Structure 1
Amino acid sequence: MRNSKTDIGLLIIRVVIGTTMIAFHGIPKLMGGVEGWTKIGQSMQTIGINFLPTMWGFSAGFTETVGSFLLILGLWTRPASWLLAFTMLIAVVVHLSKGDGLSGASHAIEFLSVYVAFAIMGPGRLSVDKK
């Protein structure tokens, strides 16, 4: 059984990770428009997906924005976290394939680990999911 301190800690992590993802990654991607979405979506070529780059780029920005908002609320936390984790997995693969090494991929790895953890454990009691 979790104690209230654990739930407060999970809430803090959800709010900080969600807010930073929205502000520094999700919204900027969405604001990039079709040209930006296409450029970002071309990253999927790294894993052999060569079709609909605009859709994939928009999906990344949408997932990072809406998925992070859901994470902050603690609403549909597990599915949102799996989608966010997939987005970060692609980011890790892209960074590594470009030769950025672990230091270049570290930010995406950090986000990936947080999202996988939330997908496994859920949001805690201080969440819409638990109300």
Structure 2
Amino acid sequence: MSQENTPKLSTDMALLLARIAFGGSMLIAHGWPKLQNFSTVSEKFPALFGLSSSICLGLAVFAEFFCAILLILGLVSRFALSQLIITMSVGVYVNLFIFQRQLFDSPGKPSAELAFIYLMTYVVLIILGPGRVSLDAVISKKRAHKKDNPKKK
């Protein structure tokens, strides 16, 4: 790979920072509270697409808590991001079409803006990948090394 095509360390650090910031905030502000208060939250959580509110909440918790952890670690990142993208897409949809909220914030009016910001960030991250400072990169490097240097018996 030529020098021009090799990602810079600054790019990898920016991807790490984005994974930690957006994965961490999703985990702490959204996933953990839903997991911690599952029974209370499920009473108010919307039932969507023919699924019960408990199942919908369970899917949201899976993405917002467990997949956020995977994103922070950079482990099966694209799978984790796909789940977060689906969840945030549903969040935008629910805010806009079920709760009849606007897309962007204005004083005193709830909106879909936060879900939209998360969604767009996760789309950018799935396109760029987790970067070289991730467990995915470590695993990939080890697999490539094993493939290039098979043990002789």
- Do these two structures clear the TM 0.5 threshold for a shared fold by scoring above it? yes
Where 1:114 maps in the other structure, the secondary structure is: helix
- In structure 1, the partner of 2:141 is none
Where 2:88 maps in the other structure, the secondary structure is: helix
Runs (4 or more) in structure 1 with deviation over 4 Å come to none
Count, aligned residues:
126
With structure 1 as the length reference, what TM-score do the two structures score? 0.90
- How far the C-alpha of 1:57 sits from its partner, in A, is 0.7
Higher helix share: 1
- How far the C-alpha of 1:32 sits from its partner, in A, is 2.0
Q: Using the alignment, how far apart are the partners of 1:40 and 1:31 within structure 2?
A: 14
Q: 1:121 to 1:38 in 2, by over 3 A?
A: farther
Q: Using the alignment, how far apart are the partners of 2:51 and 2:112 within structure 1?
A: 25
With structure 2 as the length reference, what TM-score do the two structures score? 0.77
Task: Report sequence identity in percent.
Answer: 34
- How far the C-alpha of 1:41 sits from its partner, in A, is 4.4
Q: 1:40 to 1:123 in 2, by over 3 A?
A: same
Q: Using the alignment, how far apart are the partners of 1:110 and 1:116 within structure 2?
A: 10
Where 1:101 maps in the other structure, the secondary structure is: coil
- How far the C-alpha of 1:52 sits from its partner, in A, is 2.7
- In structure 1, the partner of 2:73 is 73
What are the within-5 Å matches in structure 2 for residues 1-131 of structure 1? 1-42=6-47, 44=48, 49-97=49-97, 98-103=99-104, 104-131=111-138
Q: Which of the pair has the greater relative contact order for Cα pairs under 8 Å at 6+ separation?
A: 1
Larger gyration radius, structure 1 or structure 2: 2
